[in-house]
Each structure stands twice: as structure tokens, then as C-alpha cells.
């Protein structure tokens, strides 16, 4: 019996290109992580977490799936609460706009990654008591996209 081969589609077609997209636009100010970390330095960061992988359609030659990811945006408060809501809203709007204009994403113009990308929700009340005690605020962005893998 031949060994089964597979592609890590969610990573190759969604997570890695999303990382590249975010880094390409926010590299100087917004580190991107894939594990729930609190960096020692920096005033803001994003943690990307896959939530769902749902089959949309399967044919003999292709598989279309709908992926849902959570982007947790963190901002250190530094003890100042005065303009935090304005700063949170500004950065989240920048991320939302980037995801909107990249709804059908091909980073190089030659490679297909996803289509029908949409921000499903933004939760401005995601900050937990633990987050507050650690000195930061959190906004959760739920984003979904569709990707089709063509079998050779």
C-alpha cells in the first residue's frame, strides 16, 4: 500500500499568506505570533489562532473549504487609559481594511491563496481581568475565507 500524502492546506493557503500580508503592512510596529504569548517588548502585537475548518464542496479533482481564524490584537496600556479606545479602534480599522482589500488574495499575482475573505466580527470587549492585570487590552477579530485545493 502506498503512503498517503497530504498538504497542510490551512497553513500553506491561509495562515502563512495571512502572516506575510500582515507583516508586509505592519512589520515595523505589529509583530505577529501563532501561540498565545505575551512578548517582553513592544506595545502591540497580534496572535493568530485557527478556529474552524469546514468543507464547502468536494469533487473528484478539488476540495473547497471555509476557514475561520481569530486575530487577537493586544495593546499595552502603560497605565494610561485616556486614548486607548481611540488607539484600539484605529489599529483595528487598519487591520480590517487590509483584510477587506485582500478578500481575494494572491500575494505575488501568480499564486492563489484564498477568496471571499471577510471580517465576521470584532469584539472590543475581549479584554479579560487577567489581561487588565497584565497591563494590556485585547480586541478579537474573527475572519473567514474560502480556499480551493485542486488535486493533481
> Is pLDDT above 60 for 4?
no
Q: What is the pTM of this model?
A: 0.87
> Is pLDDT above 90 for 15?
yes
Query: What DSSP line would sit under 12-52, residue for residue?
Result: IIIIHHHHHHHHHHHTTT--EESS----SS-SEEEEEEEEE
- pLDDT for the residue numbered 80: 60
Amino acid at each position: 500500500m502506498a503512503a498517503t500524502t497530504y498538504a497542510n492546506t490551512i497553513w500553506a493557503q491561509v495562515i502563512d499568506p495571512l502572516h506575510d500580508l500582515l507583516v508586509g503592512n505592519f512589520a515595523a510596529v505589529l509583530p505577529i505570533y501563532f501561540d498565545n504569548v505575551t512578548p517582553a517588548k513592544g506595545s502591540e502585537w497580534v496572535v493568530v489562532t485557527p478556529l474552524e475548518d469546514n468543507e464547502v464542496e468536494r469533487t473528484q479533482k478539488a476540495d473547497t473549504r471555509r476557514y475561520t481564524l481569530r486575530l487577537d490584537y493586544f495593546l499595552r496600556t502603560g497605565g494610561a487609559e485616556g486614548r486607548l479606545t481611540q488607539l484600539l479602534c484605529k489599529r483595528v480599522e487598519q487591520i480590517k481594511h487590509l483584510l477587506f482589500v485582500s478578500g481575494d488574495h494572491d500575494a505575488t499575482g501568480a499564486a492563489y491563496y484564498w477568496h471571499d475573505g471577510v471580517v465576521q466580527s470584532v469584539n472590543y470587549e475581549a479584554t479579560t481581568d487577567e489581561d487588565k492585570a497584565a497591563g494590556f487590552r485585547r480586541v478579537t477579530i474573527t475572519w473567514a475565507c474560502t480556499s480551493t485545493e485542486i488535486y493533481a
